[in-house]
Each structure stands twice: as structure tokens, then as C-alpha cells.
Structure 1
Amino acid sequence: MNDEAADDRPLVLHVRVVTETGGGPEKTILNSPRHLEQHGYRAKCVYLHPPQDPGFQTLLNRAKEHDAVLIGIPDRGIWDLSVLWKLWRICRQEGVAIWHGHDYKSNVIGLLIRAVYRLKLVTTVHGWVSHNWRTRFYFWIDRLSMRWYQQVICVSPDLRETMIRSGVPETKTELIRNAIVLEDYQRTCSPKEARVNLGFAADIPVIGSVGRLSQEKGFDSLITAVSQLHNEGINCQCILVGEGPQRTNLEQLISQQSHPERYYLVGHQVDVRPWLETMDVFVSSSRREGLANVLLEAVAMEVPIVATELPGTQLVVEHQRTGLLVPVGDHRQLAGAIAEYLRDDTFRRQLAEQALQEVREHWSFSGRMEKVVAIYDHLMNSQSFTRKNTIQPTNEPIDASIS
């Protein structure tokens, strides 16, 4: 028997559906295995992805950087039953003890596998975005399936309230906020130096954001706000880091502004830290959001924050103390908040420093993982589950990608 098969530590399997290079949850999921090792758990990640999706290689590279085992399963859609069989096989071969889902499909599959294979069910609610009737139906199924999960982790209070209203017992829900590995986000140079390094004008302030170019991120509002600043005579440039379905629409909107040459859509960047360092102001203009990891990252990189008034965002940003808050979709107030920062360097630095102190004290990744481990420990110590009741792992290998 190989060393892994002989390892009696409980194995946690993180399962998620991704397209392209994923999103914010990857920063939490791929960071988890190395922290779980310190608490007596093994962990592996399984991502379901479209066949031949080029973005999955980027995720494999990121997993390697974090010492995380990432297994890929090509997923051809809702009727691809081979996905169910492959995941059951992984559970059987690896001796999975805890299934940790991260979206509607992984949550439903977890329930189905549990019918034939004994394991504990945990899920994390990262938030939902309803694009059309189909996704709204999927999210309804997701909320329904979570009623049978033993523990539902929510990253913000509003998501926890949604789960309780959906019929998940309050005792099964737990608020565990997103967090970051603070050591990974340390500023190395000034914004001007960072702009020179990336080929931008050093003396023109940067208003920036990072995220998927999708409707819920509200980047159209940010673009319009920056245009208002230009019209008021405030010299600035706007950098948006990310890729997504709204790119063409945003490019068209930019072309209609008074200074289109001051906007830069730089696409997906594997490492966003050099881009965060260019920014004098980070803007979270989202219409809907749980708690974006990149907001914490920007704070850790000492970038002042302007954000829309959303429940998750307000966990980090307290108006006039750790950042500035504006109503959702109000580009005029968004422009006003940005201008307030640009006109007062002392005020901008003060709020950035206070936000950094808040994140250092309350948003460390190790502290978050201790709360997750407490959930795992409780489930593993329950009378309904003992290690001897599981199917023992086999010697069959699991490849990085299962065709």
C-alpha cells in the first residue's frame, strides 16, 4: 500500500465547478490544503471544467504554487453523468471523509454520492449571481440541496440569513468570513514606481479595480465615474484587471467617454499584486457581492478603498474610518468619493492605515482555517461517523486530470 493509502488522517475533498481561470473562491480553496495539514487533515481539490478549457492550466499552476493537489474532471454539462461516476471513484479510491462543496452542482453531487458512500457534507456559500432563468433555477436547487448538508459555511451575514430563510436550520449555518494570507500581500514599492514598472505614466493617479468583467461587478458605473472626474478637470487613469463577458460592452462604453485613452482593460493577470501597487484608489463598484477577497488584498497592499454599500463589503469598510462607502449604482457619488481621496493625501493614507490594521487583526487566513477545522473536528467526532466505517482507500492512482 502506498504512503497516502496508509495515511489515516481524514481526507477533505474540495469540489467546485470552474470556467476559464476561476474566481475569488480559488484563493480560499487552493490555500486550504496546506493549512489543513497543520491540523491533522489531508485535503485535495477537484475542479469540474469545460473540456479543453485553456484556463484550467493556469489553475493547475496556481495549485502547484500553493502545494495543493488539484484534480481536473472535464464536464460537458448538466447531463454528463460520467462526472458523477468519476467523483464517486475518487471518493472510493482516496477514502474521502469530508466532502466540501462550493457551488450548486458540487452540492447536488455530494448528496448523490452520500447515498452510496458514507462521508460528511460541508459546503461554503460564496454568493450567487442570477444571469437568467436557468441560473436562477440552479441556485434554487442549490439552496434546496443545502438543507441536507451537515454544515453550511457562509462568508457574509446576509448569505447566512438567506440560507436560514431557505430552510437550512440555523444550527447548521456558520458565519466564517473570507480571509487572506497576509504574508503574501506586502507592498514593495510606491504607486509611482509600480506604474513605471508596468509602463504607465508615473505622475497620473490610477483609479483601479480587479474582478471578472461581468454585469454584477458594476464596472460601467466606475467607468462613468472616472469620466465625470475627467470632466471636472481631475487628471487620472483607470485600470481594470480581469476578463469576462462584458468586455466588449465596456470597451464600447469607454470609446464614448471624453478621454478613452485614459482607460486600460489589461485582461486576466495571474499575479494581481503588481497591479494593485499601481493604484492610488481601489474601487469595488459591485452591484451584488458576498465578500470579495480582492478587497482584502487591496487593503493589505495599503490601497485606499471606495466601495458600494453591500452587506459583505461593509464587514471590511466602515465609512470614513477604513474606507468610503457609496450607494450601489450611483456613479456621481462614486466620483465624489474618489475625488475626496485624490484631493487629500493625508486623509487617503489615514484611512488606508486604519483599514490595514483592521485586516491584520481580524482577517488572517490562519484564523479562518481554525474555524473551519473546528467544524471538521465536530463532524468527525460525531457518533454517526468513525474512520473504520469508511471504505478504505485503494492503490489506484488519481491523475491531475481525469478524462
Structure 2
Amino acid sequence: MTRPNNASDVPFEVAPDKVVVLHTRVVTETGGGPEKTILMSAPFLAQSEYALAAAYMHAPNDEGFDVIRRRARAWNSPLIGVPDKGAKDLRVLWQMLRLCRKYKVKVWHAHDYKSNLFGLLLRPFHRMQLVTTVHGWVVHTEKTPLYYKIDKWCLPHYQHVICVSDDLYREVSELGVPQDRLTYLPNAIDESDFCRKSLPADAPMRMDRGVPASRILAGAVGRLMPEKSFDQLIRAAAQLLNEGVDLEVWIAGEGSARQSLQALIHELQLGERVKLIGFCDDTKAFYESLDMFVLASQREGLPNVILEAAAMNVPIVSTRVAGVPKMLTDGESGILCDIGDLNGLTSAIRRLARDDQKRASLASSARKLIEKQYSFRKRMERICGIYDRMLGKPV
């Protein structure tokens, strides 16, 4: 097949014997964990009977979408960018229908409220199976209640619903989705790609930025949004530095909270030790530089950054947010604290900063956990099984 005249960013060519799965989602700026997970899926499906393409709706002239294009090319993952001017832009719906017909889409795999709604609206005009993955709501705005209502209406009408954390599974189950159409399937990571190649002190990115080998380097990754609670990490760093802990913090990402976070860093006089390093395209180099990874979030599903850090043998400090406590055992594969507990977060970072053996033990345990339970290949095998059942194939 050839690419659409005005939509395809990474070409999508399909062999005649392949079953086409179209993953759909609204993306903003450089995207996040779900966007990466979808793009990473295409190479894993290459040897199966399924062919995957991602159709991402995005604001016109969104410069961050270029980052998503680069990732798609790097993973050889077909990507179709669909410019979307908002709720009144009905051309988006029409373009999605054209894509479904052009590529003879058999499975519509949605990933948010808008793609969930579009799947239901398009199905009368193009027969296809409907599956959705619920990632959870992270960014809360004045429109979030409306998004919840749309999702709650859509999900019971889907033929299968995948939830990435057990709390989301319970919430969706309460909406009336039957157990035989509902699957708990946590996020996963390609452990062969995400693996440490050097000790933190020898990591090139760390050496380039002049971080001494003896200093503890803690890092965090994510959009700079209030829900991520990076301000808690900054305040914890201030406390530990006042205590004399030789600590440096890198926060990778961009977002609306950047200005307020930078102001907090300035107010606490932490400019030399707490750094907003901006968007980081090479996250593996970032993780390899760290002595510990810190997640202070208030809301998540099962964060991809936790999986990435664990796969890269980085010891983890995290809040007990969503799917994290189900994955990490406190004191064995990570150090957990309550959401919003600044003292608990500070204490956890302090504990790891002072204990080399504990850091090594946690990192080793988390890596083994990834290999055993969070392998991306195993996750894709389960997703293919879901597609098979929906299409009536023998399993």
C-alpha cells in the first residue's frame, strides 16, 4: 500500500496477508510513555500476522511532534500524523475513516477518550473490532470531568478493554465492563534495548556535565506539570543539601510548570545542584548517569519511566502511585513513600544516598523483575492473543 497523500509521516506498507491494527491517540508536544509504547510495538509485531500503524492526532504546527516522528523512524514504526484543530474539526473524523478504508483496518486500538469516541462513531461506516487501552488521566484540566464522562460512556461499548494498572482495572470493572472483555496488562519495556553499559561514574553524559564520581546524582523524567510533583523533589534536595549530603538532581522534560520550578530553584538557591535539563531525546544515556531515580508523582498509570529506570539498573524511589506498589516491593526492589509526603520522600532519598550496597541491591532486584514479569515481547504476545480472540481466531 502507498502512503496517504497528506498524512503519513513514516511510510506504512502492508503485505496482503497482514491484519492491520490502527493505534489511535491524541498527542501533545513530545508525547509521553503511551506514545513510546505504541511505536515500540510495531517491530515486535513484524513477525506476526499483524501490522501496526499509529495514527496520532496532534495540533497543527506542534513542533514537539517532530520528536515523535524521529522516534518512529528510529524504531521503523509506521506513523500517520493527523492535524487536529480541536473538537469542532470534523475533518479529523473523516480523515480517520479514510485511513480505515484505505488500509482495510481490522482492529481499531484506541488509547484515550477521543479515539475511544471516534472508534464508536466510525464503526457503523467501517466494520472493525474495537479495543482500547486505559492509561489513566495524568493531566487534570477544567475539561477533565467531560473527558471522564466520555470515557465512561465509551468503554462498556468496546469489545475489549486493557488496563495498565490494577486500580484502573477496578475502576473500569465498576463501569460494567464484563470480566471476559477486560484485561489487566501492565506496561513493559524492551529489556534488551534498555540495559546499562557503564557504571554511573563512567557514564558519558555525566562526565560531559562535570558531575564528580563521588557525588550522588538523582534524576527524574517527565512533563513539567503540577501532577508530577517535581517541586517536592526540589524541596527534598534542598533539605538534604542543607544536611551536607553531596547530591545533585537532574530533571528532564518540558512543560507548563517549568517557569515555576525554575523560580523555586532560584528561591532555594539550588542553581548549582538542581538542574532542569530540558527534553532529553537519549533517555538511556540519562538513566546510565544516575545513582538513583525519583518519581514523586500524584497521578500515573504504570509509569514507563519506572520500567525504564528498573531496566537500566537504576535504584528507584517512588510514591505509592497507581500501579507502582503492585510492581515494586518496598525495601526489596524500590523504596516507596506516600503521595505528597515530603518527609517520606526526603528520608527515602537520604537512605539511598548513604547506602551504596542498598542501591546496588535494589537495582539488581528491579532489573530481574523486569526480565521476569515486564518483558515487552511477552506483553505483545498477550496483546496478539487478545486480537486473535476478538477476530475469532483459534488460541
TM-score range normalised by the length of the shorter chain: over 0.9
Residues in 1 aligned to 2:125 and 2:157: alpha-carbon distance in whole angstroms: 15
Match of 1:217 in 2: 228
Deviations 1:16-55 (A, max 9, x none): 1101111011221001122122221111110000001111
Residue 28 (structure 1) aligned to one of 28, 37, 45: 37
Match of 2:106 in 1: 97
Residues in 2 aligned to 1:349 and 1:245: alpha-carbon distance in whole angstroms: 35
Change (3 A) 1:76 1:192: same
The answer on 1:80 being equivalent to 2:89 is: yes
What's the RMSD between the two structures over aligned residues? 1.7
Residue 15 (structure 1) aligned to one of 24, 40, 55: 24
Change (3 A) 1:364 1:6: closer
Match of 2:270 in 1: 259
Structure 1 stretches of 4+ with a deviation exceeding 6 A read none
- Would the aligned equivalents of 2:17 and 2:49 in 1 still touch at CA under 8 Å? no
Change (3 A) 1:130 1:54: closer
Query: What is the SS of the residue equivalent to 1:244?
Result: coil
Amino acid at match of 1:316: M
Residues in 1 aligned to 2:110 and 2:86: alpha-carbon distance in whole angstroms: 17
Change (3 A) 1:156 1:6: closer
- Would the aligned equivalents of 1:307 and 1:317 in 2 still touch at CA under 8 Å? no
Structure 2: state its 5+ residue gaps: 3-11
Match of 1:203 in 2: 214
Match of 2:361 in 1: 350
Query: What is the SS of the residue equivalent to 2:107?
Result: strand
Question: Per-residue deviation at 1:14?
Answer: 0.5
- Would the aligned equivalents of 2:318 and 2:335 in 1 still touch at CA under 8 Å? yes
Residues in 1 aligned to 2:182 and 2:106: alpha-carbon distance in whole angstroms: 20
Matched residues, number: 383
Alignment of 1:2-401 (within 5 A): 7-129=16-138, 131-194=140-203, 195-381=206-392
Amino acid at match of 1:147: P
- Would the aligned equivalents of 2:333 and 2:366 in 1 still touch at CA under 8 Å? yes
Residues in 2 aligned to 1:374 and 1:5: alpha-carbon distance in whole angstroms: 21
Higher relative contact order (CA 8 A, sep 6+): 1
Residues in 1 aligned to 2:332 and 2:196: alpha-carbon distance in whole angstroms: 21
Deviations 1:223-268 (A, max 9, x none): 1111110111111011001111111111111112143321110111
Match of 1:394 in 2: none
- Would the aligned equivalents of 1:12 and 1:97 in 2 still touch at CA under 8 Å? yes
Residues in 1 aligned to 2:120 and 2:365: alpha-carbon distance in whole angstroms: 44
Amino acid at match of 1:40: E
Q: TM-score, normalised by structure 2?
A: 0.94
Residues in 2 aligned to 1:379 and 1:164: alpha-carbon distance in whole angstroms: 19
Identity %: 45
Q: TM-score, normalised by structure 1?
A: 0.92
Residues in 2 aligned to 1:58 and 1:311: alpha-carbon distance in whole angstroms: 28
Amino acid at match of 1:126: H
Amino acid at match of 2:91: S
Query: What is the SS of the residue equivalent to 2:147?
Result: helix
Deviations 1:170-221 (A, max 9, x none): 3211011100001111212221122113443443211111111111111111
Residues in 2 aligned to 1:328 and 1:5: alpha-carbon distance in whole angstroms: 46
Residues in 2 aligned to 1:12 and 1:204: alpha-carbon distance in whole angstroms: 47
Change (3 A) 1:157 1:5: closer
Question: Per-residue deviation at 1:5?
Answer: 6.7
Structure 1: state its 5+ residue gaps: 384-403
Match of 2:9 in 1: none
- Would the aligned equivalents of 2:218 and 2:250 in 1 still touch at CA under 8 Å? yes
Deviations 1:120-160 (A, max 9, x none): 00000011135233122112211211111000000011001
